[in-house]
Structure 1
Amino acid sequence: MKFIPLQSFESINSLLQAVEAQGCILNIRLEAFTCRHTREEKQIASDIAMNLNSLHTTPVISPVPVVAAAAGTFAADAMPPLVLGSTAEGPYTPTQPVHAEDIDERLVYLVAALNCLYCDDGYDFSVLTESDFVALQEAHVKNEVQLYLQSLPDVCGPAVQHFWPAIEEQVLDGAQGCEYYQFSSPSDPMAGNSVFSHHFFLYNKRKKVLVSLLIYAEGNMYRGDDGYMPVETLQYARDEDTEDSARYASSPEPEDAEWVGKNRDFYGY
């Protein structure tokens, strides 16, 4: 698997990095990778098979998640199973060892992409299984992502306008073979380092391309969304109207005006 440098993605990423939205610092990042059977992918498949054999069972992946119909929306069809054979009655217990060639290529590519994304941090995602990825419908993914795009300020307009066209240029859409997955695992590196995160993968077998779509939020220290406020700028004050009520008030010195934060005009202090 190789990273595909794309000017369209770089332009979008530069505009959607550290944007103040939804009461936090929002980041949306796109990255594309080639999907080919290289030595790296073969080794990943071998590692996954070895891990499954050590567990003596194949994780449950069926029945496949179905997005329920909501008011005013259409019912989503079930996606095809992600990988290894399992039944609706429960997990499939292999009577024979699982071999590397038994591993679905989609799982291999998803793991390879995560290894590429977090290679500098020393992660090895070959221990992941099918249950760590959820197959979703195109409409579900686009609707969820669109909620974040619509919350962005006007300065992000060019990135929002070209967001989906740039993605579809690489992996097309659901009608043309694009499959949508979400990384949903307790071992997600972003889980403990962000206010929230959503990691989607868009894969097109015919195009042999996989796109990573990562959305995550960081606390805005200027607004105190993460509960942080410099102790030296706080004073304890009592409400004049009620004897027992109390509140915290910030009263920085004039020379510390910058410490108040970039939102002081917006919040009127």
Structure 2
Amino acid sequence: DQATGPRLPLILVPTTAGTGSEVTPISIVTTGETTKSGIVAPILYADTAILDASFTQSLPAHITAATGIDAMVHAIEAYTSKLKKNFYTDILAKHALTLLNQNLPLVLKDGSNLEARQNMLVGSMLAGQAFANAPVGAVHALAYPLGGHFHISHGHSNALVLTEVLKFNIPAAKQRYAELMTWLEPQSKGCHDGLADLFIDHFNNHLTNSGLTLKLRQLDIPEHMLIVMAEDAMKQGRLLQNNPRELSVEDAYQIYQAIY
């Protein structure tokens, strides 16, 4: 809330189905050679947002995948957000995840599928509204150093750490993961533990089918940088306070190690 004052009219037209930034009060700024920070203020809300799938039809598959997974992470982390989660953000997150879950495989199979592209845009927007009110957590916190140090795209960075962060959060979030699993697949049966594991497997399948590289060593990231990134991730207090389970620098290091 430190950005204030008058501004020109703001009309936003997203060209990826990922960030949802056309409906959030958040701007991410490179603040140093290897660091990024968020500016959050109501003045950053657009006056008008226009969702036109024709602007996303030419996206290559790897960008479609990375941005689509980013949107999914927004919905998942909003639904499990520790401090500001509420019934309204739950509704937004659930419907966002439904659209993204159904349509990401379709647009990866056929990028010219305009209906699926439009559904991805709407899902991304709903996820943006969800996390603008119930902020994201450790997936994003651990993704930022990957972008800051190695210029890996934000969506790809989220994809890299997603499965291991979901596993880490299980002790605190298994009921929420189970709820989302039964929402996405009503035929799913079992206890919270089993459904939560099924939920993680479900999204790990999305990652496997995305075509994205999912190991840090395959991206030429030196192993000695894992502890540096873990320490940098701990600086993302704005995000980590929302995570359902408290995360230490050692936890962050172990997550990076698991995906190395």
Structure with higher helix content: 2
TM superposition score normalised by structure 2:
0.23
TM superposition score normalised by structure 1:
0.23
Larger Rg: 1
